Amino acid sequence: MPSNLKSGVFEGIDRMAVICYLLIVLFGCLCITSASSEDSTGGLFSFGNFYMKQLVWVGVAWTFGLLVLLLDASLFHKWAYVSYGAGILCLVAVLLFGREVNGAKAWFELGPVRWQPVEVAKIATALALARLMSEYSFSISRPGDLFRVGVLLLIPLAIIVLQNDTGSGIVLGSFLFVLYREGLNKWLCIPILMIAALFIVSFLLSPIALLLLMLLVCTLSEAMMNGRWRSRIVFLASIFLGSAAAYFLLHAFLSSQASYYSCLLATTLAGVVVAAVYSFRHRLSNAFLVLGLFVCSMIFLPTTDYIFNSILKDHQRNRILSFLGVMSDPLGTDYNVNQSKIAIGSGGLLGKGFLQGTQIKYGFVPEKHTDFIFCTVGEEWGFLGAFFLLSLYCLLILRLMRMGERQEEPFGRIYCYCVASILLFHVLVNVGMTIGLMPVMGIPLPFMSYGGSSLLAFTVLLFIAIRLDASTRTFNFR
């Protein structure tokens, strides 16, 4: 028997990862104490205070973390699909019987305790994805297997979106990094990234400007694949002339706004026809692939209006438009972000000190102990405190990636990368929205933000990876 299994449960664990976790949790408790000090009720140790509630959840989370370390590592593989099914049932149950909080029907309320099933669903989805992709017969390059992965991810995503908790659902998109690590063709990643980019730029540019931009991007992409720049200039010019002619001829007869998309559609078809004829005559094999991508992109553009106006809620639309600079609402949609940037900027290099943050203390920053807790770090601990916290996150994520690379089985490797991807996405989005680089999505900062279900779920998520790493047995997972 290996020596690391003889000395107890703590032997073989990644101590650096555990230290980073403990430091972040303790730092979070300090920031929650400071952010909620003015809202305290009762005595210093009253359980009506946010920091006392968080300390209780820290104890619960550490207990569950210890229990995870006591389990046999093979159980996580064995029960992966069962946990996924249970997670889906919880998501459906909260959609039917849950409590609505801040417009999202995503909470169970059991007396004084609130529980958000989406946090459990993240763990279950990560385990199920690792189980699926670690099967002997699985191949990331096989369309059927890739379809199975897509279904596995889309089921919880669809239910979460129906709960009006779009921010939590988007987190599942972070698994794209895991798929890329496991060998997903980079050319399959490009359309996904283009969809996100098209959705954003469609609010900033007119339809004809988008058309010209897509022509340029697709032509340059095709040129980079073949390296024939001179012929591609002719290729671009032919598409442009055909598209421009169709657009101006139609626009001369159709002037209403309702017909604008008709002009765009006819223009697109004319450009595609000209480009297809040119490609066929000059035997440009990759040009047809680019043309297909171009057509799909232009078909997707009109659907952005439907997604934006029919699926997203008012506050989500306003946040996107405010983030893109299309609208300005300093006392409404922009208020949280503006006050957040003021708080972080006022901290300077060293910060104002513990319990001394004026923006935080006097309530200028809403949600200062939950989604915007990074403001407390920036104002009271300054640039150095924020740098220290982000360094801990970077070190923890790097340790998770290292855990994945030294796994003997694909299941452990894939799961560790799932955890790293989830943490990276949460940190990037949460910190980004507090400094105005990302739209506000209501995503907590892992191990820092106030919330029992979030802290407990992130702890279990992390400690499963630590347990898999600590085990040196060779399990026949597949």
| Stated pTM of the model | 0.79
Ordered DSSP codes for 163-227: TT-HHHHHGGGGHHHHHHHTT--HHHHHHHHHHHHHHHHTTTS-HHHHHHHHHHHHHHHHHHHH-
Distance separating alpha carbons of residues 152 and 379, to the nearest angstrom:
41
What pLDDT digit, counting tens, does each position of 254-296 carry? 544 445 555 555 555 555 565 565 555 555 555 555 555 556 6
- Helix, strand, coil percentages, rounded to 5, for the chain: 70, 5, 25
Q: Which residues of the chain have pLDDT under 70?
A: 1-10, 38-48, 102-104, 111, 186-313, 315-319, 321-333, 472-478
Query: CA 75, 425, 57, 470 torsion: positive or negative?
Result: positive
- With CA atoms as reference, report the closest residue to 118 among 106, 136, 130: 106
Q: Which residues pair with 105 in a beta bridge?
A: 100
pLDDT of residue 478: 42
Distance separating alpha carbons of residues 435 and 287, to the nearest angstrom:
41
What pLDDT digit, counting tens, does each position of 388-443 carry? 999 999 999 999 999 998 888 889 999 999 999 999 999 998 998 888 887 777 78
Contact 395, 463 (CB under 8 A): no
- With CA atoms as reference, report the closest residue to 88 among 162, 182, 31, 144: 162
pLDDT of residue 63: 94
pLDDT of residue 170: 82
Contact 366, 434 (CB under 8 A): no
